[in-house]
């Protein structure tokens, strides 16, 4: 995508195959390879190497060594290839990533891993997270033009959507939650597609709705509406209430930010509701005053008993507020912890149901502060710079919307820095996209002599 506003009006009324064929015809071998790496990365994250897991199988939650090894190898190789491509042609872009703040964060993560309660687990998972995150950050640089970036993104989205719908039609036992599921049989009837849970399918579908709207805005009047409509319908049938509510609300919020000129006003619009949501959820278990306010609300902000988990999680933060318990090393076995006593069903939880609280547990409060500076505050400043230079406004709005959705989704679910989680991948891609758009202009299409 490397560098400007795309015009895809010539794609209107034509198939994805024709558009992709014409685009690839103007690229050389290396540029085509870059596009293929981008598509492969998107499909590896969204479809995975193990789609349509059988949730009726008691062994479905067990980690299979060979399968995990294949994941590490696949992501590692793709990340290495992406780095080589980026070094060859995008060295100025890569240099902008080397900042004191980013270096501090990497250094802190290394310290956290070294002092982790389960060092081997943290090291192993950090390696995978580093590979996946590197792919997400470099993916906006891989396609040589914004038009090819659009086609890669739209093509991968359509492949995923077709797979999900085929699963529902041809193998519903593998793509729809059933009463025979080993865990959470109460979700029977909710669509999950190729994913292992509706809570992964629903936010991914929300992001694909935004992708479809973006593609429509830049002139793809066939692929764009198809992606948006298919993803929107699937989102409804997942039964994912949080994602369904956030889908339109976040797009409206992003549209308001888009037309607002003042950076400070943008910050108020973006962060004031986010702070309120965190106060009414996690904050309600730490403050009697906030708890009293939440009881007066017409809805339950604790999402039916998550307050037990948050109390348990806050106790875990208090145990090691500075260094944390170790990256991705806390929730594997919490039943034996001292803080688990009296926590009821909280000890069976896989995470804290709040991304920010989870980071405080695992990488400590200094790590959480660095994440807020890099992933919460900086992207909005980058979007402001993108608008000031009038660089690819439609693409900038897409990245802004995905970023905002991730911030708000993180108040109820855990995904930040979570290895190969597709929501984290798309969120990191959006953050990186805003970073590059603030500093470089995109190439619309290849010049005839290139």
Q: What is the pLDDT of residues 213-229, one digit of tens each?
A: 999 999 889 999 999 99
Mean pLDDT in residue range 51-62: 81
Q: Hey, what's the torsion of the CAs at 174, 176, 182, 187, to 10 degrees? A: 170
Looking at the predicted structure, is the pLDDT value of residue 390 above 50? Answer: yes
The Cα 330–Cα 304 span in angstroms is: 23
The Cα 198–Cα 101 span in angstroms is: 35
Gap between the terminal Cα atoms of the chain: 15
Phi, psi of 191 (to 5 degrees): -75, 140
Beta bridge partners, 176, equal 191
Q: Which one has a higher pLDDT value, 181 or 384?
A: 384
Residue 213: which of 201, 203, 223, 202 has the closest Cα? Answer: 223
Tokens at 406, concatenated: 């991730």
Looking at the predicted structure, is the pLDDT value of residue 408 above 50? Answer: yes
The Cα 116–Cα 75 span in angstroms is: 24
Residue 399: which of 358, 439, 435, 372 has the closest Cα? Answer: 435
- pLDDT tens digit sequence for 271-301: 999 999 898 888 878 777 777 777 666 665 5
Long-range contacts of 69-77 (CB under 8 A, 24+ apart): 71/128, 71/420, 72/127, 72/128, 72/131, 74/44, 74/49, 75/44, 75/128, 75/131, 75/132, 75/135, 75/420, 76/127, 76/131
Per-residue confidence (pLDDT) for residue 1, from 0 to 100: 52
- pLDDT tens digit sequence for 109-151: 999 999 999 999 999 999 999 999 999 999 999 999 999 999 9
Contact 396, 353 (CB under 8 A): no
Beta bridge partners, 191, equal 176
Per-residue confidence (pLDDT) for residue 5, from 0 to 100: 36
Tokens at 256, concatenated: 């308001």
Least confident of 143-152, 279-288, 370-379, 404-413: 279-288
* Three-class secondary structure of residue 191 per DSSP: strand
Tokens at 438, concatenated: 């603030």
Segments in 218-261 forming alpha helices (H): 223-238, 241-259
pLDDT confidence bin for 66, thresholds 50/70/90: low
Tokens at 276, concatenated: 């309120």
The Cα 128–Cα 377 span in angstroms is: 26
Per-residue confidence (pLDDT) for residue 342, from 0 to 100: 47
Segments in 171-238 forming alpha helices (H): 172-175, 198-217, 223-238
0.85 exceeded by pTM: yes
- pLDDT tens digit sequence for 225-275: 999 999 999 999 999 999 999 999 999 999 999 999 999 999 999 999 999
The Cα 86–Cα 103 span in angstroms is: 19
Per-residue confidence (pLDDT) for residue 60, from 0 to 100: 67
Contact 432, 301 (CB under 8 A): no
Instruction: State the SS3 of 347-382.
Output: HHCCCCCCHHHHHHHHHHHHHHHHHHHHHHHHHHHH
Contact 410, 355 (CB under 8 A): yes
The Cα 121–Cα 251 span in angstroms is: 38
Percentage above 70 pLDDT, the chain: 84
């Amino acid at each position: 995508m490397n560098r400007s506003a795309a015009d895809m009006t010539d794609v209107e009324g034509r198939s994805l195959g024709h558009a992709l064929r014409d685009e690839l015809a103007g690229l050389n071998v290396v540029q085509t390879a870059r596009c293929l790496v981008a598509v492969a990365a998107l499909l590896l994250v969204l479809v995975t190497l193990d789609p349509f897991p059988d949730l009726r199988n008691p062994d479905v939650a067990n980690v299979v060594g060979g399968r995990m090894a294949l994941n590490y190898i696949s992501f590692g190789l793709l990340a290495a290839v992406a780095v080589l491509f980026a070094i060859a042609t995008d060295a100025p872009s890569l240099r902008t990533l080397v900042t004191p703040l980013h270096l501090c964060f990497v250094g802190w993560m290394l310290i956290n891993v070294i002092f982790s309660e389960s060092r081997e687990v943290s090291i192993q998972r950090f390696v995978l997270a580093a590979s996946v995150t590197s792919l997400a950050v470099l993916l906006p640089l891989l396609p040589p033009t914004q038009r090819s970036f659009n086609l890669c993104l739209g093509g991968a989205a359509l492949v995923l959507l077709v797979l999900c719908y085929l699963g529902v039609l041809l193998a519903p036992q593998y793509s729809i939650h059933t009463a025979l599921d080993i865990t959470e049989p109460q979700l029977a009837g909710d669509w999950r597609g190729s994913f292992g849970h509706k809570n992964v399918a629903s936010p991914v579908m929300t992001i694909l709705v935004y992708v479809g709207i973006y593609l429509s805005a830049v002139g793809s009047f066939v692929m764009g509406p198809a992606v948006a409509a298919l993803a929107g319908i699937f989102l409804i049938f997942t039964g994912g209430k949080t994602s369904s509510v956030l889908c339109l609300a976040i797009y409206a919020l992003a549209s308001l930010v888009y037309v607002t000129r003042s950076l400070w006003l943008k910050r108020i619009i973006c962060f004031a509701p986010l702070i309120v949501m965190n106060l009414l959820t996690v904050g309600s278990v730490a403050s009697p005053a906030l708890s009293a306010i939440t009881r007066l609300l017409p809805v339950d902000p604790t999402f039916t008993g998550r307050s037990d988990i948050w109390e348990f999680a806050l106790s875990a933060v208090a145990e090691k507020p500075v260094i944390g318990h170790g990256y991705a090393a806390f929730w594997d076995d919490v039943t034996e912890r001292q803080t688990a006593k009296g926590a009821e069903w909280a000890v069976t939880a896989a995470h804290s149901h709040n991304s920010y609280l989870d980071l405080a547990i695992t990488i400590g409060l200094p790590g959480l502060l660095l994440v807020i500076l890099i992933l919460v505050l900086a992207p909005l400043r980058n979007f402001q710079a993108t608008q000031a230079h009038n660089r690819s406004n439609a693409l900038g709005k897409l990245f802004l919307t995905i970023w905002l959705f991730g911030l708000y989704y993180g108040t109820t679910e855990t995904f930040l820095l979570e290895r190969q989680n597709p929501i984290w991948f798309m969120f990191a891609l959006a953050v990186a996209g805003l970073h590059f758009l603030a500093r470089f202009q995109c190439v619309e299409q290849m010049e005839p002599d290139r």
